[in-house]
Amino acid sequence: MAHDLETALLRAFVSSVRSGSISRAAAALGHSQPALSNQLRRLERTVGQRLLHRGTTGVSLTKSGEIFLPYAERILALSAQGLAAAGPVVTGHCGVGLMEDFVTPSLVEALSDFSGLHPGAKLELVTGSGPLMKQSLAEGRIQLALCDPFYLAEAPRWTARLPLAWSAARTLDLRQDPLPLVLFSQPCRWRIPVFDALEAAGIRWDVVFESTALGAVQAAARAGLGATALLPANVEPGTATDELPALPEVEIALTRHTGTDGDPLLDAVENLLRRLTDLTAATG
């Protein structure tokens, strides 16, 4: 008998993996821990394989879970993208500015699928710092920007709060004094809440590696150079940790170039970004 994969179960699984803890995932999704645990068991029964190792320090992926995770993320992203793309066919050009942190595989795949469904629409992606987003909007190179609202001259159309999560190699001793950190280079205002959380817990820190590229930050953390704070979607499997102080949420905002209200293409892309942002917040 064939079984369907429920998106609610997939969201419970992805959230648990990215947060490294069933209790944190339950809090992020607004469920009780027993309810989320039940969803995970239902998913494992549907798949027919154990997907997670559960322990006192959190959860980690089984071999089957490692194989299944990208499919689960893909299905969730396609669900969000399908809702955004179900409207009328759109054409034209749309420049989209994204902060580096938000360029996840799921987002890139969703935008690629959107282009495939609307061959008359051309999407141009620009990634970079907040000041670059501000400049690109002013020059008209991009019509939509999703980044830290601090850098936006235009009033945001909407904002969202996203969680940050710690990522560190299993080989890294998190009791080091000072704690080595891997962070995005300046200007990055998300560094401040990381420093504040550590200082409030009495933990000294030292920035040992900085980069403007997400891949470089992930690679440095994976190699054990230091701990880093990322959006949960960018925390690589096996690197989530709850041994460091909880991190606060950060704010992102979307704005559009003046005079683009009512543009069907921009409306469709904005709706897609909103749904993907909501998905990121829900699976944090």
Q: In the predicted model, is pLDDT for residue 152 greater than 90?
A: no
Tokens of 170: 């299993």
State how far Cα 223 lies from the chain centre. Answer: 21
The answer to the question of residue 78 being in a domain is no
The answer to the question of residue 69 being in a domain is no
pTM of the shown model: 0.68
Of 115-119, 217-221, 243-247, the one with minimum mean pLDDT is: 115-119
Q: In the predicted model, is pLDDT for residue 88 greater than 70?
A: no
Indicate whether 181 and 233 sit together in one domain.
yes
- What are the DSSP calls for 88-128, one per residue? ----EEEEEEEEGGG--HHHHHHHHHHHHH-TTEEEEEEEE
Indicate whether 256 and 243 sit together in one domain.
no
Indicate whether 47 and 145 sit together in one domain.
no
The answer to the question of residue 76 being in a domain is no
The answer to the question of residue 192 being in a domain is yes
Residue at token pair 């170039």: 257
Indicate whether 263 and 123 sit together in one domain.
yes
Domain count, the chain: 3
Domain that holds residue 45: 7-61
Q: Between 276 and 283, whose confidence is greater?
A: 276
Indicate whether 45 and 185 sit together in one domain.
no
Question: What's the one-letter identity of residue 107?
Answer: L
Mean pLDDT of 248-271: 88
Indicate whether 143 and 256 sit together in one domain.
yes
Indicate whether 171 and 243 sit together in one domain.
yes
- Edge-to-edge strand list for the sheet holding 250-256: 121-128, 92-99, 144-147, 250-256, 158-162
The answer to the question of residue 183 being in a domain is yes
Closest CA to 166 of 65, 59, 243: 243
Here the CATH number for the domain that contains residue 139 is 3.40.190.10
Beta strand pairing call for 179-184 and 205-211: parallel
Indicate whether 230 and 275 sit together in one domain.
no
Of 5-9, 95-99, 199-203, 214-218, the one with minimum mean pLDDT is: 5-9
Indicate whether 244 and 258 sit together in one domain.
no
CA angle in degrees (0–180, nearest 5) for 224-225-227:
80
Phi (first) and psi of residue 69, to 5 degrees: -55, -50
